[in-house]
Amino acid sequence: MTSAVKRTIYNSRYRPRLNPSLHQLTKPSLYRSLNFFQSPIRTMPTYLGSCFCHDIEYELSLSSPDDARTSLCHCRSCKKAFGTNYGLTAKIPKGALRLTKGAPKEHVADNGSGSLVHREFCSNCGSFICEYGDAVKDQFRYLCVGSLDDPEVLPPKGEFFCSSRASWMPEVPDVFHKQKIKE
């Protein structure tokens, strides 16, 4: 500081007692911009979603869209569950998904390979919300990307069971491609 005169500014609620020099600032603008008692708050992006009739609504909170592994699955089980030629889900941490309205109905069945898969959907309109296997039920959810209000925020990163992809459907470019789930 070039000025010979220093101004000492103290917080009106807290006056230092033991060592005042540790709590002195010389510029009022600097003092106003500092907050010694709060850590910086990092906000996570929140994505909204729902079923078709809005009986079920949710929030998805991720540190980054990269925290979701979105993929297409061409297995027979997904084709039947989604009622189309592939399933499009995003693997997310279980704690990232929070229901804000309603409660889904659950259907549990063998996925065709001897493992149980839980599928949650709206009991009113039938919209598929998420699925998960027994092995990961405490860790992950596979969110149906089409249930997001803006599904464009989670583009696919890969395809599974490409050997079962419809012959007329081209592969998705610039993503990983696996013929089976474990490859």
CA distances from 114 to 72, 77, 117 (A): 21, 12, 10
Q: Buried (b) or exposed (e) across 45-72, using 16+ Cβ within 10 A?
A: eebebbbeeebbbbebbbeeeebbbbbb
**Do 68 and 76 contact (CB within 8 A), yes or no?**
no
**pLDDT at residue 175, as a whole number:** 95
Output the six-digit token pair for 125. 């309109």
Beta carbons within 8 Å of 130's beta carbon, 6+ residues apart: 89, 97, 104, 119, 120, 141, 142, 143, 144, 147
**pLDDT at residue 43, as a whole number:** 65
**Do 82 and 128 contact (CB within 8 A), yes or no?**
yes
**pLDDT at residue 10, as a whole number:** 43
Beta carbons within 8 Å of 57's beta carbon, 6+ residues apart: 48, 49, 50, 51, 99, 100, 101, 102
Through-space distance between the first and last CA atoms of the chain, rounded to whole angstroms: 64
**pLDDT at residue 113, as a whole number:** 77
**pLDDT at residue 41, as a whole number:** 54
Closest CA to 49 of 154, 129, 126: 129
Taking the domains of the chain in order of start, what are their residue ranges? 46-70+86-157
Fold of 46-70+86-157: 2.170.150
Entry field: residues in the chain: 183
Separation between Cα atoms, residue 144 and residue 88, nearest integer Å: 6
pLDDT along the chain (183 residues), means of 10: 46 47 47 49 81 98 92 93 95 97 96 88 98 95 98 95 95 92 60
